Amino acid sequence: MEAVMMTLGSGWVSGLRPYLMVFLLGMSGRFLGIDDIPQVLQRSDVLVITAVLLLVDFAADKIAFLDSFWDVVHTVVRPVAGGAIGYLLGGETDTTHAVVLAIIGLLASLGAHGAKAATRAVVNTSPEPVSNVAVSGTEDVAALVVGALSIALPVVAGVIAVIALLAGGYLIYRALRIWSRVRARRRAREAAAPGLG
C-alpha cells in the first residue's frame, strides 16, 4: 500500500516538477539510506543531470509564454517520468507490480500536468508577469512539500495527490468551459462585424 501511495505522490509531483522528484528520491536514498529508493536514482550522474535540469525547469517556468512552450515539450516528459518512477519503485518486487505502479505514476503525472498546463494557459492571458511567477512559485512549494511527503509519509502524500488530481480535473473542466465561451464570443463578434460596416 505504501508503494502505491508513494507512486501517487511522486507521480503527481512529476506532473509539475519531474526533475525535482527524481532529485529528491535520489538524494534521500543516497544520504538518508532509505531502502525503498532504487539504486539507479542514487547514481552521481543521475543526480548531477537532474540538478541541472531542475534549475532550467525552475527558470523556464517563471517566464510567461516560455512556460507554455515548456509545458508542451514536457507533455511527454512528465508522464514518462511519473511512469518510470512508479516502475522503479515497484521493480524490486515483481514485474506485474512494477507495471501497475508505472501506470499509476503515469496517470497521476498526466493529470497533474494537464491541470498545470490548463491553469497556465488561463494565467498567461493576463498581461502582467506577477501572476505567472506567483503561480509557478506556488507549484514549486507544492511539489517540494508533496515530494518530501512522498518519501517520509507516503500515505499522506498519496491522499494529497488524489485530492489535488480531483481538483485538477475540475480546473481542466472549468478552463475548457471558459475557452469555449471565449471562442463562442469571438465567433459572434466576427459574424456581427460585416453587418456593422
Report mean pLDDT in 10-residue bins for the chain, 197 residues.
91 96 95 88 95 92 80 90 93 82 95 86 68 85 96 95 93 82 84 62
Residue 129 has a pLDDT of: 64
* Helices 154-196, 95-123: inter-axial angle, 10-degree rounding: 40
pLDDT of residue 197: 46
Give residue 145's pLDDT: 97
> 34 CB contacts (<8 Å, ≥6 apart)?
28, 151
pLDDT tens track for 43-54: 999 999 999 999
Tell me phi and psi for residue 29, to 5 degrees: -65, -40
Per-residue pLDDT, 126:
66
The Cα–Cα gap between 166 and 188 comes to 33
